[in-house]
Amino acid sequence: MHHGGIYAEEIAGKAYDTALLRRFARYVAPYRLAIMVVVLILPLVAACRLAQPWIIKLAIDNHIISGKLAGLEVIALGFLGILIVESLLSFLEVYLLQSVGQRVMSDMRAELYRHVMHLPVTWFDRVPTGSAVTRLTSDIEVLGEMFASGIITIIGDVLLLIGIISVMLWMNLKLSLVTFSVLPVLLYVAYTFRRRMRTSFREVRARLGTMNAFLNECISGISIIQIFNRERDEERRFSLLNASYRDANMPVIFWDASLYAMVEALSSIAVALIVWYGGGEILQGALTFGVLVAFIQYIEKFFGPIRDLSAKYSVMQGAMAALERIFALLDTPANPVYNESRNIDKERAEELPPALGPVPLIEFRDVSFSYQIGNDILSGFNLTVQRGERIAIVGESGGGKTTITRLLTRLYEIERGSILLAGIDISELDLAEVRSRVGVVLQDPCLFAGSIEFNISLGNEQARLRVRQAAAAVGADRFIERLPRGYDEEVRERGSNFSVGEKQLISFARAVAFDPEILVLDEATASIDSASEQMIQEGITGMMQGRTSLVIAHRLSTIQNADRIITIQNGVKAEEGTHEELIRAGGIYARLHQLQFKGM
């Protein structure tokens, strides 16, 4: 099953709300002025709400019961005026808070995206795509809900509660103490529910990430699922994940409903106590009817924020769980070159040794690397490449061919040995500098939604100036210029409106447009049909002109003209030479060649 396996996310341990909120405050700080305005509004709103029961008490005791209608209209107009002021202040409060919430979400989403872009490839090897997307979307949206529910207005709720307690104690001490006898029970309920709701919310966020990862995988592989008639099987798998997510939400619903019900029950009990005790006091002449009505209204206003706090608490727990996951991702170490200088000598990086000389352009010195500890992919690998050379690398699957290119572009960091670029260790060079000198074309071309021009230039201004020249160099211009909109033709998701050969030519043009010094072709013709091969070969020839190239090849027919061919076996260099030399040697390359061309 997908869930419970590699897709199941780790549920975080105990979290401290104050630590999370202190860290979150950094994102709110730029909007402190709007927050300060809201904080200033909150006491005014609380004062308006506190005044309303008191005005009703005055109307009852001073006018209605005594039959003095003179002046009652003034009290009524005052009450109406307070309601209007409260409404206007509440509108401004909500507008400011939610607008700040949207800006904070935008800032956090942008920072999270920047961080994800700089994470090492090893992180993406471990974390499902859907889980990463969940952090950037729904986890951030939960923070928006936190602002929408009025996290800052909790201050106003607390002020209102303090004001109500103070006014009630001032109006009648005994009746207040009777009313507040339910508060210890309320505090105990809130404390008990707190930890249980947090645990449930963590489970919900983790299950959502797992389900999103599964959906991303299925949608990406929909053609395989349909070809092999696995729709029902995948539906069953999704049903299990969907049920898991649903079941994770059930405790949240239970505790939320329980807390709300308990608050409602305690509110009713408090009103009952007021009626019971206050009614007796009125009969004894110790309490006026206006005070009793005011007390009932105050207790309703008292439990109003408590009810809101229970709902806000539910949202806050969801937000805390989301913040845990967001900050856990932000705390994942990015590639070190983005966080520290590592003593980079930028002048050396920008002034690599010029033209041919004794220093090779690329040199691997006793390089060892493993994706998993104890399982070396490369072991003491050595290779030198001079400027302008065309080097082909062949060997069995899993032998380390692609790993060589990944290490050269520093997608992964080597464990032992060193890789030099024009005599300088690439670990001492700026990462952007290294990658700007290396252009890579993969077996599966990656196209993005947008125009053909964008897919070739990727938005780089310098590359955009070379788009047409690059397309002509690899022969892509022949099919692009036949399209209705030419270079402005839209590319659908994953380039579904182009053939494999056309997509590969676009990726070739991309590599040329960025004008790299070193060109890496990682089995760039492996998925090309025979009819497209001639077109692709012409593109490769145009692309290699004037460049140093490393070609990882499955089809040996595509590399026979290489200056040197390197055979990799079990992570070490087994053979080296030209096509003719290796055929005469009768070794690994000769056997591979014989197997491929047997019967042709």
Q: Which 3 state secondary structure label does DSSP give 560?
A: coil
Q: Has residue 132 been placed in a domain?
A: yes
Give the end of a domain, one of 291, 318, 333.
333
- Within 10 angstroms of residue 220's Cβ, the number of other Cβ atoms is 12
Question: CATH number for the domain including 278?
Answer: 1.20.1560.10
- Its pTM surpasses 0.75: no
Cα–Cα dist 336/352, whole Å: 22
Q: Do 40 and 33 meet the contact criterion of CB atoms below 8 Å apart?
A: no
Same domain, 394 and 280: no
Buried/exposed 395-419: b ≥16 CB within 10 Å, e otherwise: beeebbbbbbbbbbbbbbebeebeb
Domain annotation covers residue 24: no
Contact 525, 533 (CB under 8 A): yes
* pLDDT tens, the chain, 600 aa long: 344 443 444 444 343 467 888 888 889 899 989 889 988 888 888 888 888 888 888 888 777 777 777 777 888 888 899 999 989 998 998 888 888 888 998 999 989 888 888 888 878 877 777 777 878 888 888 887 777 666 676 777 788 888 888 888 888 888 888 877 887 887 777 777 766 676 777 778 778 778 877 887 787 777 667 776 778 888 888 899 898 888 888 887 887 777 778 878 888 888 888 888 778 777 777 777 888 888 888 888 887 777 676 667 667 777 887 888 888 888 888 765 544 433 334 344 444 444 444 678 899 999 988 887 777 888 888 999 998 888 989 888 777 888 888 888 888 888 889 999 988 898 888 888 888 888 888 877 888 888 899 988 888 888 888 889 888 888 888 888 898 999 998 988 777 788 888 888 888 888 888 888 898 888 766 555 555 566 666 667 767 777 888 888 777 777 888 889 999 888 888 889 888 888 888 888 888 878 776 645
**Structural element, H or E, at residue 306:** helix 289-330
Give the count of domains, the chain. Answer: 2
Beta strands of 172-212 (E only): which ranges?
A: none
78-112, pLDDT tens digit by residue?
Answer: 889 999 998 999 899 888 888 888 899 899 998 98
With residue 302 as reference, give the H or E element that holds it.
helix 289-330
**Dihedrals phi, psi of 155, to nearest 5 degrees:** -60, -45
Q: Which CATH number belongs to the domain containing residue 418 in this structure?
A: 3.40.50.300
Buried b (16+ CB within 10 A) or exposed e, 270-280: bbebbeebbee
Instruction: Give the pLDDT score at 309.
Output: 65
* Closest of 57, 72, 270 to residue 171, by C-alpha: 57
For tokens 């380039």, name the residue.
Answer: 495
Cα–Cα distance measured from residue 562 to residue 565, given in angstroms and rounded to the nearest whole number: 7
- Amino acid 136 reads L
User: Does 438 reside within a domain?
Assistant: yes
Kindly state whether residues 588 and 475 are assigned to the same domain: yes
Residue 11: predicted pLDDT: 42
Classify residue 248: in a domain, yes or no: yes
Q: How are the residues of the chain apportioned to helix, strand and coil, as percentages rounded to the nearest 5?
A: 65, 10, 25
Same domain, 282 and 372: no
Do 321 and 370 reside in the same domain of the chain?
A: no
Please indicate, yes or no, whether residues 308 and 176 belong to a single structural domain of this protein.
yes
Residue 118: closest CA among 429, 302, 339: 339
Query: In terms of domains, do 373 and 286 share one?
Result: no
- Whether residue 332 contacts residue 145, with contact meaning beta carbons closer than 8 Å, is answered with no
In a domain, 351, yes or no: no
- Clarify whether residues 317 and 366 are in a common domain: no
Are residues 301 and 382 both part of a single domain?
no
Among residues 406, 439, 409, 403, the alpha carbon closest in space to that of 421 is found at: 409
pLDDT value of position 87 = 92
Residue 208 lies in domain: 29-333
Beta bridge partners of 394: 567
- CA 139 to centroid of chain Cα atoms: 8
Residue 132 tokens, joined: 């990463």
Domain boundary among 333, 365, 394: 333
Residues 92 and 135 both lie in one domain:
yes
Dist. CA 511–CA 463, nearest whole Å? 9
The region, left, alpha or beta by phi > 0 then psi within -120 to 50, assigned to residue 372 is beta
Which residue reads 């409106």 in tokens? 497
Please answer whether residues 168 and 57 qualify as being in contact, where contact means their C-beta atoms are separated by less than 8 angstroms.
Answer: no
CA gap 536, 319 in Å, rounded: 52
Predicted pLDDT of residue 359: 77
Q: In Å, how far are 36, 98, 144, 489 from 148, measured between CA atoms?
A: 17, 6, 6, 42
In a domain, 496, yes or no: yes
| CA dist., res. 441 & res. 520, Å (int) | 6
Q: Is 5 among the domain residues?
A: no
Copy the structure tokens of residue 277. Answer: 């005790």
Q: Residue 505, Cβ neighbours under 10 Å: how many?
A: 28
**What length is written for the chain?**
600
Q: The dihedral of CA 569, 573, 579, 581: what is its sign?
A: negative
Helix (H) or strand (E) holding 419: strand 416-421
Residues 473 and 564 both lie in one domain: yes
382, 327: one domain: no
Q: Is residue 349 part of a domain?
A: no
- The DSSP element (H or E) to which 132 belongs, if any, is helix 129-136
Q: Are 379 and 515 members of one domain? A: yes
How far apart are the C-alpha atoms of 303 and 270, rounded to whole Å?
A: 9
Q: Say which amino acid occupies 147.
A: F
Last residue of a domain, one of 265, 300, 333: 333
